[in-house]
Every structure is written in C-alpha cells, then in structure tokens.
Amino acid sequence: MGLAVSAFAVEKPELDQRLQTITEKFTAMQQNPDTRVPANYLAAAKGIVLIDRTGGAFIIGGHSGYGVALTRDKAGNWSAPSFVSTVGASLGLQIGGTRDFFVVLAMTPGAAETLKQSSIDFGAQASATGGTESTGAETSTKATPQVVIYSQNKGYYAGASLKGGSVKEDADANSVYYSRNVSAADIFSGQVTTSPAGDVLIKEIERYSH
C-alpha cells in the first residue's frame, strides 16, 4: 500500500535533507505576504511544528509526510528539532489530504507540552483555533488561540484542527539523527546538541519573528 518507509531505514544525510527542505519551504512561505505567519505570532509561540506533505506517498484517506517539532525553553531559546511523521494525517476538514506545507504554532505552555507526547493531540485546544485577522498581518496576541495553523497554499486556517494521533513522534528518525535513543521530551529539555541543519532552521524561525 505504500503507507510509508520506516524512518529506521533512513540515514542521517537524508534527515539533514528533510531539515533543509523544511527550512526552504518555511522561508518561501514567509516571503509570501499572502501566506506568511505574522512575526508576533512566531515570537509568542511556545512550540512549533513544521509539516511537509508535498512529497508524501498517497494512502487511503490521505497521504504521508514528515516534519519537525521544536519548543522554547524558559529563556525563550528554541530546542533542537524532534522529527515527526504524519502518516494518514488529517488536519481538519478544510485541509483534508491535500499536498501542502503547514506551520502549527503552540501558543501556550499547555499546548507546547503536547509536543512531548508520542502521539500529538491538541484536542480542544485546536478546536478553539480561529480568528478574524488577515493572513500575514501583525496582530495582537491578547486573544490568541492556543493553537494556530498556517498553510503554504492558503495561509491562515480559521477553525482548522489537528485530529488526534494524526502527528506522531518519529522515534526511529530521532535515534538515527542523534545517534542514540532519545525521546522528544529529551530533545526539548536540551539533552542533545542542535545540528548545523537544525541551527539554520532555528535562525530562519528567529529571523521571521521580528
């Protein structure tokens, strides 16, 4: 069925390439005024998930993809990236199985905590996502929802939600990339050193947070 290739067979150079591709897509998205994530949202986010489904294999009801998740520490610094997979992912009825690149922002500490789980489920937090701001416009964070989703194809998704279990920690990829068994929680707590490719991604996120 071509559900997905096990990340266990993936080697570090390929994972570096994934990070590079994600970085390039994020940069392209931010350079487009119709789809960019507002700087004040990026600056306020406690966690971020970047999902690339443009190259995923088609499966029943959707298709696979990959991505990375990062969280901020108490000093506001981004962690090293933790790899995630999106086999059969459904990101709300509006998004469905379309090929796209997504930026998911966890705007509260509670939402960011969900990124440590092996199966990411924002639940009611994501169902509350919504707003009236124009895509790309600088907005006040006073009424910011707990989770905000942006798409490279369509920009801001009001009311979009991450279905339970649609995004999972890619433990095999993390083990390969960091050369030891390491969980997302370990990565977010600073137990691994950010790679050069991870540093580039973080610099791009910070660049567009101002």
Crossing angle between the packed helical segments 171-178 and 12-31, to the nearest 10 degrees:
110
Residue 13 belongs to a domain: yes
Residue 133 belongs to a domain: no
User: Regarding beta strands 82-85 and 66-71, do their DSSP bridges make them parallel or antiparallel, or are they unpaired?
Assistant: antiparallel
Q: Is the pLDDT of residue 42 over 60?
A: yes
Residue 2 belongs to a domain: no
DSSP state, residue 3 = -
The structural domain count of the chain equals: 1
- pLDDT band at 55, cuts 50/70/90? low
Residue 45 belongs to a domain: yes
> What integer best gives the mean pLDDT of the chain?
79
Residue 36 belongs to a domain: yes
Residue 98 belongs to a domain: yes
User: Regarding beta strands 147-151 and 167-169, do their DSSP bridges make them parallel or antiparallel, or are they unpaired?
Assistant: unpaired
Per-residue pLDDT averaged across 49-58, rounded? 72
> What percent of the chain clears pLDDT 90, i.e. is strictly above it?
53
Nearest by Cα to 12 from 20, 1, 3, 24: 20
pTM, 2 dp: 0.82
pLDDT digits (tens, 9 = 90+) for 122-153: 554 554 443 334 444 444 445 557 888 888 88
User: Regarding beta strands 47-52 and 58-59, do their DSSP bridges make them parallel or antiparallel, or are they unpaired?
Assistant: unpaired
Per-residue pLDDT averaged across 61-73, rounded? 82
Residue 138 belongs to a domain: no
Both tokens of 80, joined, read: 């090293």
What domain range includes position 43?
Answer: 8-127+144-207
Residue 90 belongs to a domain: yes
Three-state helix/strand/coil letters over 142-210: CCCCCEEEEECCCEECCCCCCCCCCEEECHHHHHHHHCCCCCHHHHHCCCCCCCHHHHHHHHHHHHCCC
